[in-house]
Amino acid sequence: MNPKRNQSFAHLFIILGASFWGVTGLFVENLYEFGFTPWQVVAVRLSISSLILFIMLAIMGRRYLKIRLKDIPSFIGLGIVSIAMFNWCYFEVIERASLSVAVIFVYLSPVFTAAVASLLYKEKITFQKITAILFTLLGCGLVIEFFPIGGVSVSGFTMILGTLSGLFCSSFSIIGKYMSELYHPLTLTLYSLIPGSAFMVPTSSIWEQGALFLNREVWIYILGISIISTIFAYILFTLGLSYVESSKASILSSFELVVSVMVGLLLLNEVLTRWQVTGFFFVFLSLFLTVFTFRKKWFKRYFYNEASAK
């Protein structure tokens, strides 16, 4: 298949995966109303997702269950660091500061991803990529109205946790890029979720919520967050990561925020402000800069022709 076509599909898969992450709030907010804590929601999300995907592969694709023992540390890194620890830091920042502050820190991840990927995978840090990262940060800040309202003071420890959340978030693109060249997205997703589940469940006291699991409505939201916002999201993102630079994938994942806000706008009767509209513009512009590569030859030819015409 044409490499350019592969990359085009990869961009689409990453954006779709990020979109599925973006609807997570729909399921999470309803689970909170039933009495689940954020930590318990993550524990349920990872454990049920692992179970569903394992059963599916055991029945229809056992070949995807095979991994090499030497790759187990990488899977543990993805599950505990990239997923579990990211969620812990993220929720801690929300509790200590606000959701807006937490989101700003998370979208530092393209910066970390670009820096680390340039060292590990020799990915070029181009002017276009830097511009896309800056537009992503600015756009996300405007969408959540951290800019220009701001006015939020955070402690030093909260800033450390926030920075770690961005770093842990970026680690999925970094480690996942390497692992995506060795394993199918189904395998990579399953064995990333299992260590995260093993870490989260024992520390969540989820057994104290046993009565809630008898409620059918609760299971609608659990299956929604597990199948749509976890299994589908990670498989699509990982599939796209196979053909795209990890730094570009990290930038494209900012589409998650766009979907989150649109869900609030269309389904939760939230109002879109002019600052958020401006933020959307910058986010879409960053996506455009990431997807379309402008060659130096194109610029030279364009400006040369313009100069000649004059």
Highest mean pLDDT among 179-183, 191-195, 275-279: 191-195
Q: Would you call 13 helix, strand, or coil by DSSP?
A: helix
Are 49 and 230 spatial neighbours (Cβ–Cβ below 8 Å)?
yes
Query: Residue 55 CB: number of other CB atoms within 10 A?
Result: 10
Rounded to an integer, what distance in angstroms lies between the CA atom of residue 2 and that of residue 5?
5
Q: Where are the domains of the chain?
A: 3-309
Question: How would residue 183 be classed by pLDDT, with cut points 50, 70 and 90?
Answer: very high
Are 229 and 20 spatial neighbours (Cβ–Cβ below 8 Å)?
yes
For 118-146, how does the pLDDT look when each residue is reduced to its tens digit (9 = 90+)?
777 677 778 887 888 888 788 777 776 76
pLDDT at 303: 44
pLDDT at 13: 92
User: The whole model's pTM is what?
Assistant: 0.77
pLDDT at 202: 92
pLDDT at 247: 80
Q: Is the pLDDT of residue 158 over 70?
A: yes
Mean pLDDT across the chain: 80
Among 70-84, 245-259, 293-307, name the one with the lowest average pLDDT: 293-307
Question: How would residue 298 be classed by pLDDT, with cut points 50, 70 and 90?
Answer: very low
Rounded to an integer, what distance in angstroms lies between the CA atom of residue 36 and that of residue 59?
31
Among 18-27, 56-65, 189-198, 255-264, name the one with the lowest average pLDDT: 255-264
Q: Is the pLDDT of residue 310 over 80?
A: no
**For 61-126, where are the alpha helices, taking DSSP H only?**
72-76, 86-96, 99-106, 109-120
149, two tokens: 């309202």
Measuring CA to CA, which residue among 15, 309, 257, 242 is closest to residue 138?
A: 257
Higher pLDDT, 56 or 120: 56
Instruction: Provide the angle, in degrees to the nearest 10, between the axes of the packed helices 127-143 and 274-291.
Output: 160
For 3-39, how does the pLDDT look when each residue is reduced to its tens digit (9 = 90+)?
556 777 888 899 999 889 888 877 887 888 898 988 8
